[in-house]
Structures are given as structure tokens and as C-alpha cells.
Amino acid sequence: MDVIEEFIKNQQLSKREYEEILKLWKNPEVFQRLSKEAVKIRKQHYGDRVFTRGLIEFTNYCKNNCYYCGIRGGNSKASRYRLTKEDILECCKNGYELGFRTFVLQGGEDPYFTDEKIADIIREMKSEYPDCAITLSIGEKSYESYRLFREAGADRYLLRHETANEEHYRTLHPSQMSLEERKRCLYQLKELGYQIGAGFMVGSPGQTLSHLAEDMVFLQELQPHMVGIGPFIPHHDTVFAEEKSGSVELTLFLLAMIRIMLPKVLLPATTALGTLDPKGREKGLAAGANVVMPNLSPVKNRKLYELYDNKICTGEEAAECRCCLGRRVESVGYHLVNERGDAVK
């Protein structure tokens, strides 16, 4: 247990030590100790407030072919859609009325949306909702593209690194993609002044505790403002259709560790966590998470943004999602707030 107390005291460890802690993930006392500390730290910086992000899944076209993802380009069975700029602005209007002050534009890597089109959407969102933060989650782009989006008004960028181990990365992605390129994007986004979010799936095929220890070391080095993690969940039309889902418990254990390592981080209790366990998001908040990301996409498109099987919240209107999440957040003693929810300095 010494290593746990050392981690709590110093908030930083070596890869070997992270792995030592991770080996204890099934031990309830260790989890208790970590999550108690995580909640304490979370309260110091964020009180009992939980931030919301309105997620707008604006295209499920994708030129990439990540083996785990249901909307990968190679999945000929996926039925594809794109929202228009007007659709997107309608989602924002709806969201703004419901109290959202951050909008996340997420999508596959869709060449239809040229840099100019994206910049134009950002500018329009910013001019209509100047008090809102705009987050992009649209994959790997050049430095110039990132700069253009930033100048157009984008504030934040989510780009999970997926795994910090080169070899593991290659087993999850086709050879055109590389961890090096993913990291290049994250560092450049940071340099351009975005608040950046990295992250990974827990229990992706072939993942070991040693890989997760490498993820911890990478996050420690990158110092992102946000970290998105959620369990891997198989999708029936992917190479990994027959693989097992990741563990909810291990995800919660990692959430607590990440909160301790990066005390001020914005840490969502993800939809994937809520998909595998009906109380998953509440448990995430109780393990140190402080963000939820309900869906603002039009209901008719929701089911089609199918990254994995059985994704929750695909049938409700945004207002219902907001109310439902509000209740869930209250049930564990926190409050949803209508703010941008920037990372604290």
C-alpha cells in the first residue's frame, strides 16, 4: 500500500509504479482509498459543480478505418448522414435555451467538411453565442487547419490518443495511422492555445495494465486540460465484434487515478460508462469525474452515430436528456451548472 500513499502525496509516479497500483484494481479497499482522495481533490477545485457539454454529432462519414469504431469508413452497412449548418445552429439554439454554454462538434473525419466550411460554422456559432465555448472533436488535421479553426473561434479540442503504446496503437488502427501523428496533433493544438483533451478506451482489444501505465505516463507528460476515458464496447460491424467490453470497475479506478494525477482536470463521466452500467455515470462522478456530455444531436440522427453497440440516450429529446442527467447528478450530491466550465488555472 506504500505506493498508493506515495501517489496520493506526490501525485506522480513512474511507469513501473503506476503498473503496481493498476494491478490492485480489483481490491475494493484500494479503490475506496483512491476514490475518496479523488473526490476530495475534485471538491477542492470544483466544489459540488458538474459541467455539461452539449454534444453535436454532425457527421458520421469517416475516411479513417479505426478497427474498433462503428462509423469507420470501411463499414459499408453504416447508414451515413451529415447535418447542415442550419441543423447545427438549431441544435445550438435548443441547447442554449436548456442552459448549455459549451458546444462540442464531433464527427468522423469527413472530407466534405473542408476547413473553410468548418471555420464558417465556428464563426457563425461564435457570433450567435459569444458567451459559449466551442469544442471540436474532428480528428487529425494539419497545423494550418488547427490554426484556422482557432482563429475562427474554437476554444477546445478533444482528440483521444487511444493508447500511448506504439505497438498496441498499430493493432487498433490501419497502417496509415500512427501514434506519432496523433501526438503531433495534441502538442500542436496545445501550442495554438486550445484547451486540449486526450484520452483512451479502457479494455480495448489487446490492452494490458502495462499499456495503461504508459497512458498514465503520457498524460502526466502532456498535461491536458481534459481527459476522456470510457470502456471499450464492441460494435457488431467491426473487426472487434466478438471482443469483450472493457470493465466499468477498471474505468472507475482509472478515473480516480487521473483525478489524483491531474487535480484540476476536466474529467467526463462518459456515455460509454453509462451504456455498460445503468449507474455508470453516477459512479464516474463519485470516482472523481466532474463533466457530463449529453447529446444535442437531432433525434432522427442519434441512432446512426453508432460508435459501439447499445449506445444510450439515442431516443430522447435534448430537454429530456438534460433533465434526466440533472437528476442523476443530484442523486450523487452534485449540481449541474449552466456555465462554460473552463479548466481552473
Q: Does 306 bind ligand SAH (CB under 6 A)?
A: no
**Candidates 131-139, 170-178, 206-214, 219-227 — which segment interacts with ligand SAH by CB under 6 A?**
131-139
Of 3-11, 24-32, 39-47, 106-114, which segment contacts ligand SAH by CB under 6 A? 106-114
Size of the site for ligand SAH (CB under 6 A): 19
From 48-56, 118-126, 229-237, 295-303, give the range in contact with ligand SAH by CB under 6 A: 229-237
Q: Does 224 bind ligand SAH (CB under 6 A)?
A: no
* Cβ pair 294, 52 in contact under 8 A: yes
Reference 162, options 21, 67, 257; nearest CA is 67
Q: Nearer to ligand SAH by C-beta: 269 or 307? A: 307
Q: What residues between 191 and 210 interact with ligand SAH by CB under 6 A?
A: 201
Q: Going by C-beta distance under 8 Å and a sequence separation of 6 or more, which residues neighbour residue 216?
A: 13, 15, 18, 257, 258, 261
Q: DSSP letters along 99-120, please?
A: T--EEEEEE---TTS-HHHHHH
Among 106, 165, 195, 297, binds ligand SAH (CB under 6 A): 106
Is residue 219 within 8 Å of residue 227, measured between CB atoms? yes
CB 248 within 8 A of CB 273: yes
272 binds ligand SAH per the rule CB under 6 A: yes
* Contact of 31 with 252, CB cutoff 8 Å: yes
CA dist 272 → 260, 292, 294 (Å): 22, 12, 12
Q: Which stretch binds ligand SAH (CB under 6 A): 85-93, 111-119, 228-236, 287-295?
A: 228-236
Q: Which residues bind ligand SAH (CB under 6 A)?
A: 68-69, 106, 108-109, 137-139, 159-160, 162, 201, 230, 232-233, 235, 272, 307-308
